[in-house]
Amino acid sequence: MADQILHVTDGDFDSQVLKGANPTLVDFWAEWCAPCRALSPIVEKVAAGYQGRLQVAKMNIDEHPRTPGKYGIRAIPTLLLFKDGAVVDQVVGLVSQNKLEQIISKHL
């Protein structure tokens, strides 16, 4: 399932996320973050369930700090949902798959 998730960098964020054909859910995370690791399987299930309608991406904030700074990411995990190049929704912290799908469904 992890192969359905795009790993984005500061260098390719604009082309992969902002100019993407589908809405994109971006998971901002770090290796040391326990809630991030707990959220990861939920994000993978969402990626599989919405394949073709939603692009799912992950960004390691330690390796790529510029983009999280630009979007004011202060806590992780933070999920931002982008549509047509703009943030349309945000989730901070660990959430259930059901809650995440409710948020995504509003924008598809």
Catalytic positions, written as ranges: 33, 36
Close Cβ partners of 87 (under 8 Å, ≥ 6 residues apart): 71, 80, 81
CA distance 82 to 80: 6
CA distance 82 to 105: 13
Query: Which residue is listed with tokens 């991406």?
Result: 57
> Phi then psi for 21, rounded to 5 degrees?
-70, -35
